[in-house]
């Protein structure tokens, strides 16, 4: 057991060293960076595609897409109008690491205002790895049920913001965004929460306004 903990500590220490280097680069370029995490199927790609469409003429947005395999999601986001997109395939790893981000941005387009990292769908491992981001956002679908914040507290506590997605399904599911929000705040009372439907656009204005404020913070 002691050996396992030691190995994990070394991995995280190495990651943190690289993350600090990546963060310094982002800061030197006044680039706002948001790391979005979720379970598989929560709607990250659809939400990001709709976000990119709204920013196409106002905010130069880049997206790093993390997946175990395929470039399916990257193609969707590129088609939506992102100014720069790169796909990271981890070949089995269940999370992105700072070293992967450093390699991905080595040839990143200059002049971006916002970089969004779409992490791999997983409610455990991604929470432990700093990627040099300014903000961590948890995206949860209403379809997952209200028990997820208490089942995966580490993820919810690692994030400053929560997006409750697929609120258009409230009546069909018999689950309200309000009840999900209540459970999430029991786990992390400091969460700033958005309720969205990437399908019909509900809540996207407030979500995009927040991202604009993140960009403006960088001046």
Phi, psi of 210 (to 5 degrees): -65, -45
- DSSP secondary structure string, 43-85? SHHHHHHHHHHHHTTTS-EEEEEEESS-SHHHHHHHHHT-SEE
pLDDT at 2: 47
Check: CB of residue 113 under 8 Å from CB of residue 31.
yes
Instruction: Show the CA angle centred on residue 90, arms to residues 86 and 93, nearest 5°.
Output: 145
- For 38, the domain range is 2-218
Confidence of residue 5 (pLDDT cuts 50, 70, 90): very low
Check: CB of residue 49 under 8 Å from CB of residue 76.
yes
Question: Which 3 state secondary structure label does DSSP give 21?
Answer: helix
At 120-154, the pLDDT tens digits run 999 999 999 999 999 999 999 999 999 999 999 99
Q: Residues of the chain with pLDDT > 90: what percent?
A: 89
Check: CB of residue 29 under 8 Å from CB of residue 66.
no
Q: How many domains does the chain have?
A: 1
**H-helix or E-strand spanning residue 154:** helix 153-158
Check: CB of residue 217 under 8 Å from CB of residue 32.
yes
Q: Over 80: is that where the pLDDT of 36 sits?
A: yes
Check: CB of residue 195 under 8 Å from CB of residue 181.
yes
The sheet carrying 84-89 orders its strands as 84-89, 61-67, 114-118, 32-38, 135-141, 161-165, 192-195
């Amino acid at each position: 057991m002691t050996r396992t903990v030691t190995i994990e500590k070394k991995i995280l220490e190495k990651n943190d060293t690289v993350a600090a280097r990546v963060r310094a680069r982002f800061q030197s370029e006044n680039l706002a960076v948001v790391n979005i995490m979720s379970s598989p199927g929560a709607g990250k790609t659809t939400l990001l595609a709709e976000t990119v469409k709204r920013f196409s003429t106002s905010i130069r947005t880049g997206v790093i897409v993390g997946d175990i395999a395929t470039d399916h999601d990257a193609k969707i986001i590129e088609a939506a109008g992102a100014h720069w997109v790169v796909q990271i395939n981890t070949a089995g790893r269940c999370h992105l690491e700072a070293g992967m981000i450093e390699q991905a941005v080595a040839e990143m387009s200059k002049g971006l205002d916002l970089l969004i990292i779409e992490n791999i769908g997983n409610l455990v491992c991604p929470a432990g790895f700093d990627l040099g981001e300014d903000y961590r956002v948890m995206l949860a679908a209403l379809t997952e049920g209200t028990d997820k914040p208490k089942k995966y507290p580490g993820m919810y506590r690692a994030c400053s913001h929560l997006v409750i997605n697929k609120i258009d399904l409230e009546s069909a599911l018999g689950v309200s965004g309000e009840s999900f929000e209540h459970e999430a705040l029991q786990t992390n009372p400091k969460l700033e929460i958005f309720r969205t439907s990437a399908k019909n656009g509900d809540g996207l204005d407030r979500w995009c306004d927040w991202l604009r404020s993140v960009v403006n913070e960088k001046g």
